[in-house]
Amino acid sequence: MGEAELPRCAVCRTSITVGEAVVFRQDGRVQHTSCPKVVCPLCSREVLPGTPIRRDGEALLHPACWSRRYRSAVRGSA
């Protein structure tokens, strides 16, 4: 058996790791008993549950921060 993919919290959308306290929901998803604060690494501000996100590996970014970084990366490599 391969390594199972970690489930994601339905509220804060980060991966749930072994040992974290979770709640199993009626809809079959899982969420943390109490979610850790998620901080966007690009602007250092909080990523609020229920708001749009962009994923960068395990990091959650604001869509605006993500596209700003993407645009500057494209410009830098040109």
Q: Which residues sit at the interface with Zn ion, rule CB under 5 A?
A: 9, 11-12, 32, 35, 40, 42-43, 62, 65
Report the residue number, 35 or 59, with the smaller CB distance to Zn ion: 35
Q: Are 15 and 60 in contact (CB under 8 A)?
A: no
Give min distance, CB of 31 to Zn ion, in A. Answer: 5
Q: What whole-number distance in Å separates Cα of residue 64 and Cα of residue 2?
A: 35
Report the residue number, 29 or 76, with the smaller CB distance to Zn ion: 29
Q: What is the largest CA-CA distance in the chain?
A: 49
Computed on alpha carbons and rounded to an integer, the radius of gyration of the chain in Å comes to 15
Q: What whole-number distance in Å separates Cα of residue 69 and Cα of residue 30?
A: 31
Report the residue number, 11 or 59, with the smaller CB distance to Zn ion: 11
Give min distance, CB of 43 to Zn ion, in A. Answer: 3
Give min distance, CB of 40 to Zn ion, in A. Answer: 3
